[in-house]
Amino acid sequence: MTRALIAGCSGLSLTPEESAFYREAGPWGFILFKRNVESPEQVRALCEALRETVGRADAPILIDQEGGRVQRLGPPNWPKYPSGGTYGRIHANDPIVRREITRLGARLIAHDLRAVGITVDCLPVLDVPTPGAHDVIGDRAYGRSPEQVAVLGRAAAEGLLAGSVLPVIKHMPGHGRAGADSHLALPVVDASRAELERHDFAPFRILSDMPLAMTAHVVYTALDPDNPATTSPIVMSEIVRGHLAYDGLVMTDDLSMQALSGSYRERTEKAFAAGCDMALHCNGRMDEMEAVAEGTPMLEGEALRRAEAALRRIGHEAEPFDPVDARARLDAALAMVA
């Protein structure tokens, strides 16, 4: 059976210990980072090896390929891509062009990813930064208004889907107001529920038809002063499944991030008890992965339904596409950004 887990690995190829663990644990999918990337041929072989361990050719393989400072596949083997904020500055007086180029950039990323066997991109970032917030989101955001973030976020998601790659909307229900980097500490947001719904949560409600979402390790005191969204039954039920009307698959952000407390098994069990569908563990450390797997249920029920529905969204041939012409159009548009 398949476990409701997305796991990382430690290097450029699988160790015997990793292969044995994946065969036993049966994760739904995997996630790659820069430590796992050397060349297109190597990444393709790693993806094949990961899928072989679980015996599923459609096992999703994820990556964070946003562009800007969050890009796991990069030069010299892959082109650089702009940050979300760069797309937000294209032709400031022409939102239609801005949307078209954002979609084009994501379509190019999808082309790169599918060529090496990667089928899920942790993009778009739907967080809306506010003045005084930590720069962990910063120029990763498409703009400073919920409207622009939603429009360009949808354009990016559509570009990925056109290339037969699944988008992941993040960080639900909103990390943009956070005053700390959740990789290192637990952010606490004190805004009112009305303000959060109007501003921070709005892009996620607009893109609630997307198949996959990643949580925010952020405390919203107006909703649940004791738990970050990832482990909050209140946020998951009242906001994610309620106000946002989100019925896609919800994965945690990385369970190894320092915003969370408790043992790795405890973190995992709390996330599932809150209502998450899928555990995400990224750093490839075997002792942590084993503890997370111990706290992770098999993929069944509503979570299985959502996972299967997500994979059906990419069960098609990619949209016809000329990558050379597309790259030229993207570069021409970026050359005009101030």
58, 94, 183, 209: which one is catalytic? 183
Domain ranges, residue 250: 3-334
> Are 168 and 120 in contact, with CB atoms under 8 Å apart?
yes
Residue 141 pLDDT > 90: yes
- What is the domain-level CATH number for residue 206? 3.20.20.300
pTM value surpassing 0.95: yes
Phi, psi of 135 (to 5 degrees): -80, 10
Question: DSSP string of 277-300?
Answer: SBEEE-S--HHHHHHHHHTPPBS-
- Start-to-end Cα distance in the chain: 52
The residue written with tokens 């012409």 in the block is 325
Residue 21 pLDDT > 90: yes
* Rounded Cα distance, 282 and 8, in Å: 5
Phi, psi of 266 (to 5 degrees): -65, -45
Note the pLDDT tens digit of each residue in 194-228.
999 999 999 999 999 999 999 999 999 999 999 99
Q: Average pLDDT in the 69-95 region?
A: 93
112, 139, 224, 253: which one is catalytic? 253
Note the pLDDT tens digit of each residue in 240-296.
999 999 999 999 999 999 999 999 999 999 999 999 999 999 999 999 999 999 999
* Rounded Cα distance, 330 and 123, in Å: 18
What domain count does the chain have? 1
Is there a catalytic annotation at residue 253? yes
Which tokens sit at 180? 């700390």
Phi, psi of 169 (to 5 degrees): -80, 135
* Whole-number percent of the chain with pLDDT over 70: 99
Beta bridge partners of 70: 67
> Are 144 and 85 in contact, with CB atoms under 8 Å apart?
no
Mean pLDDT computed over every residue of the chain: 96
What is residue 89's predicted lDDT score, i.e. its pLDDT?
A: 92
Is there a catalytic annotation at residue 111? no
